[in-house]
């Protein structure tokens, strides 16, 4: 007799989920008949219990229930065993489909994790953080495209980290070997000048902390406005408290239309964790810096170039 890792009190849900989980395992082929038998026994037991309970409930309620409820109860009563079985079978199938659907969703999220900065097999980003990071990443790329200006690493990371939790911020900063404090609190002059260029209006979130004066702010980019605003009425990634992908669409569909070209072969080892960027005080004179945007059809090359340094 096979001993399954759950006792008789385990619910059918547990049994069916275990059954589904094990389906992919080759071992299950050997023990499947046993699993099916236990499952059927469990289903049968539960079926009998539910029928008993339903009968008791109907007896209890028939006296004072409204007519529609009595009708419903009598309809239930009329459900034959075969009909009940069919209903339950449909429920089981629906559960399996739902699981499959959610697995598909999770696979898609995994794919997304691999194309955003800071992909790590060991420390997986949560679903919500993955979406937030992706949103910020798209926004940064759109900024680079629309302004034609490079972002220094600090700005890049700070923008990526907008709205992310502290652990994720740490992860992103860690990927780039940045001090987290500098990511969240101390924008450099270059960054500030860049914000000034973008600064159209303070925005609703800029009322509280500021970057000037105190030199310390939890939200240093509160007034970092996107040039897209005039076109799309969109705002910076930080402008909405909740996840709002809809307002952040870029001004045009650039997917597959551009690539980033390095001016010269890059030795990633000489840079912070591989990212080629212009550190503060090193005076990169090029307008575009390392990002030489060209209209080609090599989006994935861009993606690879941008992500290569971050992925460990």
Partner DNA sequence: TAGGCCATCTGGTCCT
Partner DNA sequence: AGGACCAGATGGCCTA
Closer CB to DNA, residue 7 or residue 264?
7
Of 39, 42, 129, 302, the one binding DNA by CB under 7 A: 129
- Least distance CB 277 / DNA (angstroms): 29
The answer to whether 126 contacts DNA (rule: CB under 7 A) is yes
Taking every pair of Cα atoms in the chain, the longest distance, rounded to a whole number of angstroms, is: 87
Q: Please give the size of the binding site for DNA, defined by CB under 7 A.
A: 27
- Site stretch for DNA (CB under 7 A), options 95-103, 139-147, 231-239, 283-291: 95-103
- Least distance CB 104 / DNA (angstroms): 8
CA 224 to chain centre: 24
Cβ-Cβ contacts under 8 Å for 116 (sequence gap 6 or more) = 125, 130, 133, 134, 137, 307
Both tokens of 87, joined, read 């209903």
Closer CB to DNA, residue 22 or residue 254?
22
- Name which of 3, 12, 9 is nearest 31 in CA terms: 3
Both tokens of 12, joined, read 């059918």
Site for DNA in 55-94 (CB under 7 A): 86, 90-94
Closer CB to DNA, residue 166 or residue 294?
166
**Alpha-carbon span 299 to 50, nearest angstrom:** 57
Distances (CA, A) of 283 to 155, 190, 229, 286: 16, 10, 30, 9
Of 49, 55, 98, 244, the one binding DNA by CB under 7 A: 98
Of 57, 72, 97, 216, the one binding DNA by CB under 7 A: 97
The answer to whether 99 contacts DNA (rule: CB under 7 A) is yes
Where do we find the tokens 């009425």? 233
**Sites of contact with DNA (CB under 7 A):** 12-13, 16-17, 20-21, 86, 90-99, 101-103, 106, 124, 126-129, 165
């Amino acid at each position: 007799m096979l001993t399954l890792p759950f006792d008789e009190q385990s619910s059918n849900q547990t049994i069916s989920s275990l059954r589904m989980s094990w389906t992919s395992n080759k071992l299950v082929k050997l023990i499947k008949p046993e699993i099916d038998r236990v499952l059927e026994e469990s289903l049968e037991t539960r079926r009998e219990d539910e029928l008993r309970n339903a009968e008791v409930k109907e007896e209890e309620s028939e006296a004072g229930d409204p007519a529609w409820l009595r009708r419903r109860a009598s309809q239930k009563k009329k459900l034959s065993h075969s009909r009940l079985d069919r209903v339950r079978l449909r429920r089981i199938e629906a559960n399996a489909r739902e699981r499959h659907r959610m697995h598909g969703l999770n696979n898609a999220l995994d794919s997304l994790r691999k194309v955003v900065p800071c992909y790590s097999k060991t420390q997986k980003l949560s679903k919500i953080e993955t979406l937030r990071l992706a949103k910020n990443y798209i926004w940064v790329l759109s900024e680079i495209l629309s302004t034609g200006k490079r972002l220094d690493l600090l700005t890049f990371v700070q923008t990526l980290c907008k709205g992310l939790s502290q652990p994720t911020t740490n992860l992103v900063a860690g990927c780039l070997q940045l001090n987290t404090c500098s990511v969240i609190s101390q924008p450099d002059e270059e960054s500030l000048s860049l914000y000034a260029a973008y600064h159209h209006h303070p925005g609703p979130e800029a009322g509280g902390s500021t970057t000037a004066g105190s030199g310390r702010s939890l939200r240093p980019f509160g007034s970092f406005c996107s040039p897209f605003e005039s076109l799309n009425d969109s705002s910076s990634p930080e402008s909405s408290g909740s996840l709002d992908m809809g307002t952040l669409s870029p001004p045009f569909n650039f997917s597959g239309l551009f690539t980033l070209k390095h001016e010269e072969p890059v030795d990633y080892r000489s840079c912070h964790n591989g990212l080629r960027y212009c550190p503060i005080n090193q005076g990169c004179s090029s307008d575009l810096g390392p990002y030489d945007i060209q209209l080609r059809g090599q989006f994935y090359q861009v993606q690879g170039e941008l992500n290569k340094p971050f992925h460990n």
